[in-house]
Amino acid sequence: MPLKFHPPVEPEFWPLLQDSPIGSQLIAGRTLLDFQQQYANGVENAHQLENAWITGEDWQLLTNATAPTALKTNSGTVLAWTGDQDPANCSDEVTASDASFLIRYAWDFIQINEDIVAALTDPDHQGEVSPAAHIDGVVHVGEGSRILPGVVIEGNIVIGKNCKVGPNCYLRGSTTIGDDCHIGQAVEIKNSIVGHGSSVGHLSYVGDSVIGDKVNFGAGTITSNLRHDGSNHRSLVRDSLIDTGRRKFGAIVGNGSHTGILTAIYPGRKLGPNSTTRPNDTVERDIVE
């Protein structure tokens, strides 16, 4: 008898990926699709949902299966399967770990990036790292990038090609910076993704956030990432407040957005593509237009 599955919930990635597939999202210096394909490599007749994140260990469960098998969450939603194109034709099923899940919202990319970057073990310095920089972690620096004097890095960091970082920056957590980025004087970035061609101006702070491509943060732009009561952040999605499951959550910023100097962004807020703020603005609610 064919297996039955709960249908997946429609994802909502706004303000990211408005005109791009989910697989194009920057993760750990590559794309999400690159990692999806890497982890599924070697599994015969493998299929997965486009917005499924599956660890290598959970793919191994399908590798060990002899019959067409479905990999499901504890709630019964199928993530991946072997056999033909229809998972309902699987004759067996296995349950995924909690580390594999459906990517439903933009903030889920923070967790995926954190898991991959934190697991890096070998440094890769293709760019220029100043001897006056301090590195305590595994760092990947792309070709043409420069890490200037006074930069302090704690934890594992991935920096793309042709970037300028510093002087006197503080990068920590599991942070990914895309290609052609500028991280200015005295900027702190923690556990975040900064998209290609983006600039974070001097004296700014970005924490637990996803910044899109070609974003410009004016000097002194601050993302707050912690509620006073310490509880999980909630974010407005389709007129409903969704528990993000994150105690620390900064901002999601769409491509092409610009902030004025001294902009303060409340925790868990989203700035739509090509949005702007004025100097000294406080972003209390999502900027939709």
Catalytic annotation, residues:
202
Give per-residue burial for 43-52: e unless 16+ CB within 10 Å, then b. beebbbbebb
Extract long-range pairs of 120-127: CB within 8 Å, 24+ residues apart. 120/28, 120/156, 120/158, 127/159, 127/161, 127/163
The one-letter amino acid at 38 = Q
Tokens of residue 5, six digits: 């599955």
CA distances in angstroms from 55 to 11, 80, 86, 96, listed in the order given: 20, 11, 22, 9
Rounded to whole angstroms, the Cα distance separating 231 from 245 reads 9
Vertex 276 angle, CA 285 and 205, to 5°: 75
Rounded to whole angstroms, the Cα distance separating 178 from 165 reads 12
Q: Nearest CA to 254 among 234, 238, 273?
A: 273
Rounded to whole angstroms, the Cα distance separating 167 from 60 reads 44
Helix, strand, coil share of the chain (percent; to 5): 10, 35, 55
Sign of CA dihedral 18, 20, 21, 26: negative
Tokens of residue 115, six digits: 């898991």
Tokens of residue 161, six digits: 């090609």
